[in-house]
Amino acid sequence: MSAAPAIAAAGLGRDYGRVRAVDAIDLQVQPGEFFGFLGPNGAGKTTTIRMLTTLLHPSRGEARVAGGDVIDDSLAVRRRIGVVFQETTLDLDLTAEENLRFCTRLYGLSRRESKERIDEALRLFGLTDRRHMRVRSFSGGMRRALDLARGILHRPAILFLDEPTLGLDPGQRRRIWAFLQQLVAEHETTLFLTTHYLEEADPCDRVAIVDHGRIVALGEPDELKRNLGRDRIDVRTDRADDFVAQVRELTGLEPQRAQHGLSLFADDAGSVVPRLLPLTAQGVEIGATHPTLEDVFVDLTGRGREAA
């Protein structure tokens, strides 16, 4: 954590007329970090990404990205970042290769470099045999893969991804994720991504949860889950009534009814589960779940939203 941060934002905010899209974002992302930016729709994720990628002028605050100020050095910043938008930026009437070549020309890559990188990118995303096919004929997953390939052709130091797996099926999502993790590992690319598939944020080094244009939680996924505390221990039985007293006696905790039997809440399931093991002799199943990021997310944003 000694090098200058890849992304540093202070009080970054943006209004549209009277609508306050982003209130004030403070964050630092270290080089090589895999950073997740989570929040419900309308929380200000996309606006934040647009400010960090110099596409949108902030109404207040400041941000430095890849060593440059997003307003004063926007060209330098754009040279060192890649952006993959929520919607595709591909030209559907062009082939995969033509789309990528359009991009390498924009970044002024030489003909040879361009060819090498395009070959590599197509291979990496399994699109080599579709090279000369028009993008219109591609499935959503292939388009997204090609979009990602486009985003990394110029080897950016930081890659911004806005909902990279939106609308993809689970298999395609897994492939995209595997690739992103590989990218971090091999090229030490800093990744900044937004998502609202919360389980996807688990591989992130750190996660910020944003709501109403502010960061409401920031930390490692495990840390965030720990702060929520409360593992859940399930006692699975269809004779719940018979076990309430026993469970209470063995653990000292108050069990709650659930469809599968009984549930207990504890800070650390590991210390509770062994005490319940004697019950397994009577045909009871014991299970435990850690809170997921989804639980953290609901805890921080969801309930407040009901009133909104």
Partner 1 sequence: MIGAITAVIIRELTRFQRQRGRLVASFARPLLWLVVIGAGFEKLVPTEGTVSYKQFLLPGLFGMVVLFSTMLTALATVHDREFGPIRMLLVAPLPRYVAVIAKTVSSAILGVIQAVLLFPLIWILGLHPSFGALLELLGAIALGSLALGSFGMVIASRLRSIENFAGIMNFLMFPMFFLSSALYPASLLPGFLQPLVRADPLTYAVDLMRHPLLRGLYPGNLGTDYTVSFDVMVLVLFAVVLIALASLLFGEEEHLGRILLVEPPRAKGRRLPRPRLGLRRRDGASGSPVPLGEATPAD
* Contacts with partner 1, residue ranges (CB under 8 A): 14, 16, 19, 21, 40-43, 46-47, 50, 53-57, 75-76, 78-79, 81-83, 85, 87-94, 98-99, 101-103, 105-108, 150, 166-167, 196-199, 232, 234, 256-260, 263, 287, 289, 292, 294-295, 297-298, 301-303, 305-306, 308
Residue whose token pair is 């995209």: 176
Closer residue to partner 1 (CB): 81 or 121 = 81
Q: How many residues does the chain have?
A: 308
As to burial, measured by CB atoms within 10 angstroms (0-12 exposed, 13-18 middle, 19+ buried), residue 271 is exposed
Question: What separation in angstroms does the CA of 93 have from each of 147, 165, 220, 291?
Answer: 15, 23, 42, 46
Bridge partners, 22 (sequence order): 14
Distance CA 3, CA 137 (A): 44
Q: What is the DSSP string of 187-207?
A: H--EEEEEES-GGGGTT-SEE
For residues 185 and 238, which CB has a smaller minimum distance to partner 1 in the complex? 238
As measured in angstroms, the least distance from the Cβ of 264 to partner 1 is: 10
Residue in the structure block whose two tokens are 């809170």: 291
Alpha helices in the chain (DSSP H): 45-52, 74-80, 96-106, 111-124, 140-152, 170-187, 221-228, 240-251, 269-276, 293-297, 303-307
Return the number of the residue (144 or 206) whose C-beta is nearest partner 1: 144
Q: How far is the CB of 283 from partner 1 (least distance, A)?
A: 19
Tell me whether strands 206-211 and 214-219 are parallel, antiparallel or unpaired: antiparallel
**Residue 2 beta carbon to partner 1: minimum distance, rounded to whole angstroms:** 28
List Cβ neighbours of 193 (8 Å cut-off, separation of 6 or more).
35, 36, 37, 160, 161, 162, 164, 180, 204
Other Cβ atoms within 10 Å of 52 Cβ, number: 28
Shortest spacing between CB 105 and partner 1, in angstroms: 3
Nearer CB in complex with partner 1: 111/185: 111
Nearer of residues 184 and 198 to partner 1, judged by Cβ: 198
Please say which residue, 21 or 208, places its beta carbon nearer to partner 1. Answer: 21
Cβ proximity to partner 1: between 83 and 272 the closer is: 83
Least separation in angstroms between residue 27's CB and partner 1 is 20
Shortest spacing between CB 212 and partner 1, in angstroms: 10
The nearest distance, CB 135 to partner 1, in angstroms, is 10
